[in-house]
Structure 1
Amino acid sequence: MEFSPFNPIVKLCLQGMGMEENSQPQKAVELFLQVWNEATNNFEKFLAAHYIARHQKTVSDKLKWLETALEHALKINDDSVKSALPALYLHIAQCYKELNAEKAKEYAELANLYKNNPADKGPFYHGTKADLQIGDLLTAGGNSNYKSEFKMNHIYFTALVNGAGLAAALAKGDAPERVYVVEPTGNYENDPNLTDKKFPGNPTRSYRSEAPLKIVGEITDWQRPAPEELQKFREKLADNKGEIIN
């Protein structure tokens, strides 16, 4: 399963989040319920239940939807969903604080258990317009691919080839888009700019490292976004003030 911002269900979720940001919670709930009704797989059901849960008025109703989200998440053997488990277990634990102290402790322990380093073993990809060779090292400290005025303290990569392709398409410059296969040479962590932000966990399987990435190959067969979708992403980047670009 590859998370995509172009998926119709994901688009509905984004619309619902937009309603939340515009202080229209009722319209947001209606959209999330539409997501629930139109969901066709466990991942989409998991997303819908997650968003519906946060609009519930009582602890018991919130807990019911969180446990529904967990039920569907546990049916998916995928690193993008596993990354959501720590926060999901923690939210359930917080609900149980008012209902069952023993269960609250149990879920809090599960949250800590799943909070360790990413389990994702790749393969990993980095999208750019730079012309690089196998064996080259990508290092932190350079300028951002998207806003050249920002220095990067980390080097970023993803386990989704199409996600790397989108990054390449958005990178500044007129050179051809390149998606390289990379290997981390040191420890890496979930990208905090994305993890548990708009979506639960790290569905884009995006990571960052202070250690170099070694280029071990190149991918040419990846899905390029439609021009209109690409333009939307460019507009979002143009509006960014740098708070999520490290």
Structure 2
Amino acid sequence: MRAPDDDGPFFHGTAAALPPGALLTAGFRSNYRPDVVMRHVYVTALRDGAGLAAELAVELVGGSATPHVYEVEPTGPLEDDPNVTDQRYPGNPTRSYRTTQPVRIVREVHDWTRLTPEALETWRERIVAKAPEERGEILN
């Protein structure tokens, strides 16, 4: 893995309501494959990319939570996210990264683009509605 050439800011999307200063740490179940315990925390330099992650996280926990997007500050080195970098897209157009170190929440951001109901339904069909073993491998 190579270190990213990205200075941020970085964002993380989730269904969890968290205060500024809170630390996101590895060791929790994947939003996309609940049978997988993640060894990394994932971030993106694209605010709307974090929004997509937040909306999918809400869908995967049953749709009753509120999606949250946070500006975050990594406390350790980042590496390209191998789940999208070169695996599915050449380079790293999603500007997605991961770290084994905690990520500190700076603030919640609200100016991200929400998915339309139609777009959310498309994602639900592509990922959420599938059984965990059909969602694809996660390089953890």
Which TM bucket (shorter chain)? 0.7 to 0.9
- Aligned pair partner of 2:109 in 210, 219, 231: 219
2:72 pairs, out of 177, 182, 192, with 182
1:132 maps to which residue? 18
Q: Distance in 1 between matches of 2:117 and 2:139?
A: 23
2:54 paired residue number: 168
1-structure distance, mates of 2:6, 2:76: 14
Distance 1:177 1:241, change over 3 A: closer
The reply on whether 1:229 has 2:119 as its aligned counterpart is yes
1:147 maps to a residue whose letter is R
Alignment check: 8 A CA contact 2:52 2:115 kept: yes
Aligned counterpart, 1:204: 94
Relative contact order (alpha carbons < 8 A, sep ≥ 6): 1 or 2 greater?
A: 2
TM-score (normalizing by structure 1)? 0.51
**SS of residue in 2 equivalent to 1:132:** coil
- Structure 2, gaps ≥5 residues long: none
Cα contact 1:156–1:209 (8 A) shared by 2:
yes
**Could you tell me whether the CA contact under 8 Å between 2:4 and 2:79 is conserved in 1?**
yes
Q: Which has the larger radius of gyration?
A: 1
Q: Secondary structure at the match of 1:235?
A: helix
- Give the aligned CA root-mean-square deviation in angstroms: 1.7
Tell me what 1:244 maps to: 138
Q: 1:245 to 1:167 in 2, by over 3 A?
A: farther
State the 1:157 CA deviation. 0.7
The aligned counterpart of 1:56 is none
Correspondence 1:195 to 2:85:
yes
In structure 1, the gaps of 5 or more residues are 1-114
- Which has the larger share of helix? 1
CA separation in 2, counterparts of 1:241 and 1:165?
20
Higher share of residues assigned strand: 2
User: Taking structure 2 as the reference length, what is the TM-score of the superposition?
Assistant: 0.86
Listed one character per residue, the Cα deviations across residues 70-89 of structure 1 (whole Å, up to 9, x for unaligned) are: xxxxxxxxxxxxxxxxxxxx
Please state whether the residue corresponding to 1:221 is helix, strand or coil.
coil
Matches within 5 A, 1:34-53: none
- Percent identical residues: 55
Of 9, 21, 30, which residue of structure 2 is paired with 1:123? 9
**How far, CA to CA, are the matches of 2:120 and 2:40 in structure 1?**
24
CA distance in 2, matches of 1:202, 1:123: 16
Three-state SS of the structure 2 residue aligned to 1:214 is strand
Cα deviation, residue 236, structure 1? 2.2
Counterpart code for 2:32: Y
The separation in 2 between residues aligned to 1:148 and 1:123, in whole angstroms, is 28
Count residues with an aligned counterpart.
Answer: 132
